[in-house]
Amino acid sequence: MDKIKILIADDHAVVREGTRQILEQEPDLEVVAEAVDGEEAIKLAGRFRPDLAIIDIAMPKVDGIEATKQIKALYPAISVLILTAYDDDQFVFGLLEAGAAGYLLKSVRGKELVDAVRQVYAGESVLHPTIARKVLNRFLAPPDKSDIHKEKVLSERETEVLRLATQGLNNQEIADKLFLSLRTVQAHLGHIFNKLRVSSRTEAVVKALKEGWISLEDIP
């Protein structure tokens, strides 16, 4: 079984060690590198090419938001999950704009962290719906009455799948709703991610909102 390769970036050794212990108890997860600051996180992301990076916000040299931005710019296939003590709007907005797939607070239980890692790896979002609605509102495209110059990037079916994903439905629920197979839904999401050059639902939804392909009414 291929393991999910993970990079942990946090300036507190005890947090890194604790996070590693939680993750490596799972047979499908493997921590391949640890970084003590954002600058090292960017370097190690390039060296080890993990599937996912777990990054704190408050770090020396380069903070988590900037590290996320650079990692996503250099290695877009690497998904980023923020694990932090901060839940201020400015940080949430910053990390979403930087390309993070989601965030958790350090108060979460080990099982929640493990579940979040698997969800992000699978392209799922780990944003709480209430927070998602609040923060995604920031990215709404201004009303544009003219669709003449708006490029149609996604097909109607892909837009429909993304809209249901925005509502918080998982892949199986989307499949049931649209009377499709799970494999077909996964294929549609793969096409969506490729077309939008993103690696998670969160990034896809943010981009779609910015472009006006979906509206806030699509979010529960």
**pLDDT per residue over 143-185, tens digit each?**
554 444 445 688 889 988 988 887 778 888 999 999 999 999 9
Q: Cα–Cα distances in Å, from 86 out to 40, 82, 112, 174?
A: 21, 10, 17, 32
Q: Please give the pLDDT value at position 213.
A: 78
Most confident of 44-53, 55-64, 108-117: 44-53
pTM of the predicted model as reported, rounded to 2 decimal places: 0.69
For 28-37, 61-70, 106-115, 207-216, which range has the lowest pLDDT when averaged over its residues?
A: 207-216
3-state secondary structure of 5: strand
Average pLDDT value for residue range 121-150: 61
CATH class of 140-218: mainly alpha
Q: What is the rounded distance in angstroms from the CA atom of residue 105 to the CA atom of residue 84?
A: 5
Average pLDDT over residues 72-94: 87
Q: Which helix (H) or strand (E) holds 115?
A: helix 110-121
Residue 216, both tokens = 């806030």
- Average pLDDT value for the chain: 85
Per-residue model confidence (pLDDT) at position 14: 93
Please give the pLDDT value at position 51. 96
Among 96, 34, 94, 85, CA closest to 58: 85
- Say how far apart CA 147 and CA 145 lie, in whole Å: 6
**What pLDDT shows up at residue 119?**
87
The class of domain 4-121 in CATH terms is: alpha beta
The structural domains of the chain, with segments of one domain joined by +, span 4-121, 140-218
Question: Averaged over 5-12, what is the pLDDT?
Answer: 96
